Amino acid sequence: MKTPRLGVNIDHVATVRNARGEKYPSPLRAALLVQKYGADSVTIHLREDRRHIIDRDLKEIKERIKIPLNLEIGPTKEMVNISLKYKPDYVCIVPEKRKEITTEGGLNLKKNSEIIRKIIKRLKAKKIRTSLFIEPDFNAIKIAKKINADCIEIHTGKICKYLNEKKNIKKEYQKLVKSIDLANNIGLEVHAGHGITFSSAKILSKINGIKEFNIGHFLIGESIFIGLNNSIKKFKKILKK
Ligand code: PXP
Interval 92-129: pLDDT, tens: 999 988 777 888 889 999 999 999 999 999 999 999 99
Architecture label for domain 5-239: Alpha-Beta Barrel (3.20)
Ligand 1 pocket test: pick from 100, 155, 194 the residue with the most ligand atoms within 8 Å of its Cβ.
194
Contacts of 91 (CB under 8 A, 6+ apart): 70, 71, 72, 73, 83, 123, 128, 129, 130, 131
Atom number of ligand 1 nearest to Cα 219: 16
Nearest CA to ligand 1 atom 11: 194
Which one from 135, 194, 212, 222 is the annotated catalytic residue? 194
Confirm whether 194 is a catalytic residue.
yes
CA 105–ligand 1 middle distance (angstroms) = 10
Residue 205's nearest CA partner among 192, 217, 194 is: 192
Distance between CA 65 and CA 9 in Å, rounded? 14
CA 43–ligand 1 middle distance (angstroms) = 9
CA 93–ligand 1 middle distance (angstroms) = 12
∠ Cα 152 221 23 (to 5°): 95
Q: What is the pLDDT of residues 42-68, one digit of tens each?
A: 999 999 999 999 999 999 999 999 999
Confirm if 7 and 218 have CB atoms less than 8 A apart: no
Confirm if 52 and 19 have CB atoms less than 8 A apart: no
Average pLDDT, the chain: 97
CA 226–ligand 1 middle distance (angstroms) = 21
The domain segmentation of the chain, as residue ranges, is 5-239
Residue 133's nearest CA partner among 178, 96, 160, 171 is: 96
Beta-ladder partners of 6:
213
- Burial of 74-87, coded b for 16+ CB within 10 Å and e otherwise, reads bbeeebbebbeebe
Distance between CA 190 and CA 208 in Å, rounded? 10
**In this predicted model, which residue has the larger pLDDT, 1 or 164?**
164
Ligand 1 residue neighbourhood (C-beta within 6 Å): 9, 11, 45, 72, 92, 94, 102-103, 133, 153, 193-196, 214-218
Q: What percent of the chain has pLDDT over 70?
A: 100
Q: What is the pLDDT of residues 217-239, one digit of tens each?
A: 999 999 999 999 999 999 999 99
Asked whether the predicted pLDDT for residue 173 surpasses 80, the reply is: yes
